[in-house]
Amino acid sequence: MTQEFEIKEFQRQQTELLKRIEALENASIAAATSSPTCRSVASRRSQEIFSNRDLLRVKAGLFVVGRPLTSDYCKELVADLYENEPALSYDIDTLRAINDSKRCSDAPALSKYAVLELFSIGELAGRNCTGRSSTGSVDKLPLDSIKLRFIRESVLEIYPQRSEGARRDVWNKCVEKINSQLRYLFQGSLKKQPWLNIGL
């Protein structure tokens, strides 16, 4: 029941974001066609106007990471949105598919990719598994406990261990791997943007 509630909440958030994106798109098109000068600029850049919502979501995601935004590049990414958006519904088969597609060789690798696939950028920003900073210089929040517990149980089912102590040791390595990836993601890969919490 808790997971169903979480899924419904994620779907509600997705619907709100889609409405927001559509409103921003309409405002942008209206502004671009409001004057002859703007109209000529808009006609020269007609290939950069995105009416497809999937393209808009990818374009917004690319803006966050600071990559060049072109129609062709976005269309290539839209061909496999599995790489760009978190799954709204998932089970252990979802993690098995991630394990196969990423060719993971151990539990820490699978746990890292599972977090990147099942959490949005907004859910990852300023967070890690423990809710504590390794240096103590930055305030952190913990990742969603329900999703993280699901990942833990599924990863340890895909990569079973002989004892409870071994399970604990392996999961500690998974936590280190996830936290290390999140540090890299937001310090080296993603440009910090004040609007990361919109849920992209």
Most confident of 1-5, 76-80, 167-171: 167-171
Cβ atoms within 10 Å of 129's Cβ, excluding its own: 23
pLDDT at position 79 over 90: no
Structural domain including 96 reads 92-198
- Length of the chain as a residue count: 200
- Domain for residue 159, yes or no? yes
- Domain for residue 11, yes or no? no
- Domain for residue 46, yes or no? yes
At 41, is the pLDDT very low, low, confident or very high (cuts 50, 70, 90)? very low
Most confident of 37-41, 95-99, 184-188: 95-99
Residues 110 and 191 in one domain: yes
- What Å distances lie between residue 171 and 31, 133, 141, 151, 185, CA to CA? 52, 18, 19, 10, 21
CB distance 156 to 107 below 8 Å: yes
The Cα–Cα gap between 104 and 112 comes to: 10
Enumerate residues 6+ apart whose C-beta is below 8 A from 38.
31, 32
Final residue in a domain of this structure, among 39, 65, 83: 83
The Cα–Cα gap between 13 and 47 comes to: 29
CB distance 113 to 98 below 8 Å: yes
Residues 101 and 189 in one domain: yes
Question: Which residues make beta-bridge pairs with 142?
Answer: 128
At 85, is the pLDDT very low, low, confident or very high (cuts 50, 70, 90)? low
